[in-house]
Amino acid sequence: MIRPSRRWTGSLAVTAAATLAASALYAPTARASGTDATSTDAGRSIAAEEGPEQIVNGTFDTGSDPWWHTANIAFDISGGRLCADIPGGTVNPWDVIIGQDNIPLVKDETYAFGMYGSSDPAKVGRAMVQLPVDPYTAYLTANPQLGPDGATYAYTFTSPVDLPNAQVVFQLGGSATPWRFCLDDVSLKGGADPEVYEPDTGPRVRVNQVAYLPKGPKNATVVTDATTALPWQLKNAGGDVVASGNSTPRGVDESSGQNVHSIDFGSYTTAGTGYTLTADGETSRPFDIGGGAYAALRTDSLKFYYPQRSGIAILDNLRPGYGRPAGHVGVPPNQGDTNVPCQPGVCDYTLDVAGGWYDAGDHGKYVVNGGISVAQLMSEFERTKNAATAKPHTDGTLEVPESGNGVPDILDEARWEQEFLLKMQVPDGKPFAGMAHHKIHDQNWTGLPLLPHLDAQKRELHPVSTAATLNLAATAAQAARLYAPYDAAFAARNLTAARKAWAAAKANPDKLASPADGTGGGAYDDADVRDEFYWAAAELYITTGEQEFKDYVLASPMHTSDIWGPRGFDWGHVAQLGRIDLATVPNALPGRDQVRQSVVEGAEKYLATLTAHPYGMPYNPPTYDWGSNNLVLNNMVVMAAAYDITGTRKYRDGVLQGIDYILGRNALNHSYVTGYGEVASHNQHSRWYSHQLDPSLPNPPKGTLAGGPNSSIQDPAAQEKLQGCKPQFCYIDDINSWSTNELTINWNSPLAWISAFVADQGDGTVKAPGKCRVTYSTHAQWREGFTTQVTVKNTGSATIDGWTLKWAFLGGQQAGQSWNANLSQSGATVTAKNLGWNAKLKPGQSVTFGFNGKAAPGANPTPDLFTLNGAACA
Ligand code: 9MR
């Protein structure tokens, strides 16, 4: 992937004068064949060669990052070297450049520069080490005689300056005719070892810096050399000791390399603010005991989405400090997303793909990633229909332009993205009709900062893919049932699109996105789409109940295999989305009990991981992945689903412990959510929340999750500071660290889902199940309607005086005429109230009522959840 975090165009202004002036400063050494260099100072060069390597990825073993290039060439690293076809007809050497930034130079140090190069036909190349800005003073200018056979070249020079961010550039322009250049083993050795970066991790007692629920678990971690138990004290805001005990030594934690103890102070349950925990002479950052912060995070993590919107102005009155003009609507300098062509040779039409959310800190819009994001928002809403503890999502909670339209705001926000996904479908009559284009983004990577409406790059549709098509099928099928009570036409449009996408994916099962398609946007390649097929079939089955999808689900290897791996699920691993929905959304799949049980088995695994981990994490692979925080959160989703299925407290407590890690109980003593916790991420990689680079721009809004530790540290900012990091330390809150510190729509979606789950637990008191049993029988079902009879039994030992029973329909069904109860409906949720004569239900007594319903397209299963006077019936 090519992702310069700066604008390459600045290098075009290299002046010949600067080059000449600087070339006197270097002394080339003859070391290898084919070089034009002569040795003048071999001793110094040997010393330099033993110095530290300053070039990142000079061997192109890990792709082409962080090398950048001018827009008139493309990198080809397929042969293990970096090659490029250099166009003819350019005038100046600097008209074609390959470069690397942020190379530290130390004054008076001598450096050894080496490279392998070849050209076809033979050419004189130009390699420079220079100042990255005007006047581009060169400290080394070398002119290797390149030829088709390839050779290695070596030079030395002494730096006249201290400079943290020199550039190495290969200037390849100025040829009338095209030629091919290849490069390998680029090395710049010498200078001082890079400064060892020491993150400021604050006190050694690590806590959730935001809040623990009063009646929930409360755990902390102490970093210490001690090997035997240490006393701890919990103090309130006034400094009084309110609880104390002894820690549990846990040995050396592999994920951080630290010797640690854990502290359990869960027996203390009094709500308050400004608590601290003291152990081993250190006092933790302050925290609350209370549920209020999660009610706020439930909202903030969703409010994140509106200012990610493309194609609409962000109103400052809705998001003070975040207002900005609409991005990519075709107003110059934008080229607009209203009429986007394909990449050359990919298609002969243009599409209006305006709208949707920007994926992350870039201006790209990707169907596979949009898919899981919108699905998780829809599932957060759908959970309110099926889970005993879930509190409703309503209209007017998120301050979006649609607030007040009678539709829950979370569905309004999700629709903004779903409308975009629908637009990415190939129109009828065109090749691959029904498939979805994988992505749309800029032709080349842009630099930071860059507000969306100022992006002047050409926008292009990339080829269709099976994965994108199945993301569309899955989300459109889910949308069809969820939006049906609010907008039947939109629901129908989604169902049609889902069916078309499914058929198109079946006809084109192996259109895989190319891993090489990563210029100007992420590749989002995925070589295995069995999980996407399974997810789509599951959603289509849940919505329609149809045989074809049922058969597909039951025959899929993903239906029964163990999908609860240690790394969890994400945009490229989506079988879990299908499995969890089959388990938690009402449907009549044969063997559904085993499906529900399999989710519980997954939760058991993550709970075991968490219990064994001294930082209480449900994620513990030997190396952390890109976006590890979203994997931690998705593993928590599995535990939350198991709690929703079983009501077993330990799964819920697993979720409550997992959130501690995200909010500060970690090796860095750092909260990964902007605005939450005393020390929290706020410089996430984003072209418009670029406050770190331009103080007039804002930081990301509160409630924004950072990707989190990534053992592979794939960006130069992380590589410069974090070499050799233990997994938990592979993170830096720097805007340039896009591989550890980006924000994305698919990482905030599990944060939002989990925040809602935690908020729904109130103060952490586990509610006793309702003393009731419900029998719900749909006696007759015809095209336009159905008749249902409901019996409610009081299974408790007290008389119920006045009852309200609630359930939700799967889709657009409407309760009509009723008998023996008063029925009303809001969205899909039905409320049945007793009449005067049947208000009292003695222990053991039942009441039966019924209604005629108006049918809606699709399945009409028996609801899983009934609540009587607010408590879920068994
Ligand atoms: O989240 C993606 C991660 O799983 C991949 O390993 C990585 C490299 O392909 O790309 C990540 O996605 C980025 C995307 O390619 C471009 N927009 C920003 C995304 C988050 O960093």
pLDDT at res. 43: 39
| pLDDT band at 390; cut points 50, 70, 90 | very high
pLDDT in tens, 638-683: 999 999 999 999 999 999 999 999 999 999 999 999 999 999 999 9
Q: How confident is the model at residue 145 (pLDDT cuts 50, 70, 90)?
A: very high
Return the structure tokens found at 66.
């962080």
Is the N-terminal amide bond of 333 cis, ω within 30° of 0? yes
Residue with tokens 């629709």: 415
The pLDDT of residue 48? 72
Confidence of residue 50 (pLDDT cuts 50, 70, 90): confident
Centre of ligand 1 from the C-alpha of residue 721, in Å? 21
DSSP 8-class letter at 15? -
Cβ burial of 679 (10 Å; 0-12, 13-18, 19+) is middle
Whether the per-residue pLDDT at 842 is higher than 90: the answer is yes
Beta bridge partners of 464: 437
Q: Which helix H or strand E contains 244, and what residues bound it?
A: strand 241-246
Q: Which two tokens stand for residue 285?
A: 């950052």
Among 6-10, 625-629, 666-670, 730-734, the least confident range? 6-10
Reply yes or no on whether the pLDDT at 849 is more than 80. yes
Tokens of residue 199, six digits: 């993150």
Residue with the larger pLDDT of the pair 23 and 117: 117
Residues 199-212 have a mean pLDDT of 98
pLDDT-derived band at 47 (thresholds 50, 70, 90) equals low
If pLDDT is split at 50, 70 and 90, which confidence band does 51 have?
confident
Percent of the chain topping pLDDT 70? 94
How far apart CA 260 and CA 252 sit, in angstroms, is 6
What value does the mean pLDDT take over residues 314-328?
98
* CA distances to 290, 472, 541, 686 from 548, in Å: 48, 18, 8, 43
The pTM is what?
Answer: 0.83
What residue type is 466 in one-letter code?
T
Q: What's the pLDDT score for residue 5? A: 32
Cis peptide before 449 (omega within 30 of 0): yes
- Asked if omega into 104 is within 30° of 0 (cis), the reply is no
CB 204 within 8 A of CB 282: yes
Span 79-85, mean pLDDT?
A: 94
Dmax over CA atoms of the chain, in Å, equals 107
Nearest CA to ligand 1 atom 15: 522
Residue 167 C-alpha to ligand 1 middle, in angstroms?
Answer: 26
Q: Which of 42-51, 120-129, 568-577, 703-712 has the lowest mean pLDDT?
A: 42-51
Q: Find all residues with CB under 8 Å of 868, minimum gap 6, and list them.
A: 770, 772, 774, 792, 800, 803, 804, 805
What integer best gives the mean pLDDT of the chain? 93
Ligand 1 site, residue 627, Cβ cutoff 6 A: yes
Q: How far apart are CA 661 and CA 575, in angstroms?
A: 26
Looking only at the bridges linking them, the beta strands covering 211-212 and 287-289 are parallel
Give the Cα separation of 531 and 157 in Å (integer). 55
The residue whose CA is least distant from atom 19 of ligand 1 is: 360
733 CA → ligand 1 middle, Å: 17
Average pLDDT estimate for 283-301: 97
Q: Is the CB of 742 under 6 A from ligand 1?
A: yes
pLDDT of residue 94: 94
Q: How confident is the model at residue 46 (pLDDT cuts 50, 70, 90)?
A: low
CB count within 10 Å of CB 324 equals 18
| pLDDT one-digit tens code per residue, 185-194 | 999 999 876 5
Partners of 152 in beta bridges: 116
**Band of the pLDDT at 11, cuts 50, 70, 90?**
very low
Ligand 1 atom with the shortest distance to the CA of 570: 4
Q: Which residues contact 615 (CB under 8 A, 6 or more apart)?
A: 206, 221, 253, 255, 256, 260, 661, 665, 666, 667, 728
pLDDT digits (tens, 9 = 90+) for 234-267: 999 999 999 999 999 999 999 999 999 999 999 9
CA-to-CA distance for 472 and 435, rounded, in angstroms?
A: 9
Closest CA to 111 of 41, 169, 165: 41
CA 457 to CA 445: how far, in whole Å? Answer: 9
Domains, the chain, in order of start with CATH, read 45-193 (2.60.120.260), 205-292 (2.60.40.10), 772-872 (2.60.40.290)
Query: Given ligand 1 and candidates 574, 626, 715, which is best to mutate, with the most ligand atoms within 8 Å of its CB?
Result: 626
Q: Whole-angstrom Cα distance, residue 235 to residue 258?
A: 25
CB neighbours of 516 closer than 8 A, spacing ≥ 6? 78, 523
C-alpha distances in Å from residue 816, one per residue of 823, 830, 849: 8, 10, 13
Ligand 1 center–CA 522 separation, angstroms: 6
Could you list the active site residues?
Answer: 685, 733, 742
Q: How far apart are CA 208 and CA 670, in angstroms?
A: 9
- The full length of the chain comes to 874
Q: Is 360 in the pocket of ligand 1 (CB under 6 A)?
A: yes
d(CA 517, ligand 1 centre) in Å: 13
The residue whose CA is least distant from atom 4 of ligand 1 is: 626
Q: Classify the C-alpha dihedral 588-591-593-596 as positive or negative.
A: negative
| pLDDT for 580 beyond 60 | yes
pLDDT-derived band at 63 (thresholds 50, 70, 90) equals: confident
Beta carbon of 626 within 6 Å of any ligand 1 atom: yes
- Report the alpha-carbon distance of residue 22 to residue 142 in Å, rounded: 11
Taking alpha carbons only, the member of 255, 277, 254, 258 closest to residue 266 is 277
Of 189-198, 298-307, 610-619, the poorest mean pLDDT is in: 189-198
Is the confidence at residue 26, as pLDDT, over 80? no
3-class SS at 499? Answer: helix
Asked if the model's pLDDT at residue 19 lies above 50, the reply is no
Question: What's the rounded mean pLDDT across residues 457-466?
Answer: 98
Q: Is 686 in the pocket of ligand 1 (CB under 6 A)?
A: no
